[in-house]
Chain A
Amino acid sequence: MSVLSRGFGRGRSRPADDRLPPGQYDAGDAFPVLSAGPTPHTPLARWDLAVDDGTGTRARWTWEEFRALPHEALTVDLHCVTKWSKFGTRWEGVAVDRLLQDVPDPAPYVLATSDGGYTTNLPLADLTGGRAWVVDTYAGEPLAPEHGGPARLLVPHLYLWKSAKWLRRLTLRASDEPGFWETFGYHLYGDPWREQRYSGD
Chain B
Amino acid sequence: MTDTTDAVSARRLDGNAAGGPLAALFAVDVTAARSRCAACGTTAALGEHLLYADAPAMVLRCPSCTEVVLRVGTREGYVLLDLRGATLLTVPVPVVADDGA
**Contact among A37, A43, A146, A161 with B56 in the assembled complex (CB-CB below 8 Å):** A161
**Contact among B8, B66, B75 with A146 in the assembled complex (CB-CB below 8 Å):** B8
Q: Determine the main DSSP class of B at the interface with A.
A: mixed
Chain B residues with CB under 8 Å of A186's CB are: 56
Looking at the assembled complex, report how far the CB atom of B5 sits from the nearest CB atom of chain A, in whole angstroms. 10
Q: Do the beta carbons of B9 and A39 come within 8 Å of each other?
A: yes
Encode contact with A along B49-81: 1 for CB under 8 Å, 0 otherwise: 010101111010100001110010101100010
Q: Do the beta carbons of B9 and A37 come within 8 Å of each other?
A: no
Q: Do the beta carbons of A185 and B8 come within 8 Å of each other?
A: no
Docked Cα-Cα span, A37 to B66, in Å, equals 8
**Contact among B9, B76, B82 with A38 in the assembled complex (CB-CB below 8 Å):** B9
Docked Cα-Cα span, A32 to B54, in Å, equals 9
User: Does B98 reach chain A (CB closer than 8 Å)?
Assistant: no
Residues of B at the A interface (CB closer than 8 Å) are 1-3, 6-9, 11-12, 50, 52, 54-57, 59, 61, 66-68, 71, 73, 75-76, 80, 82
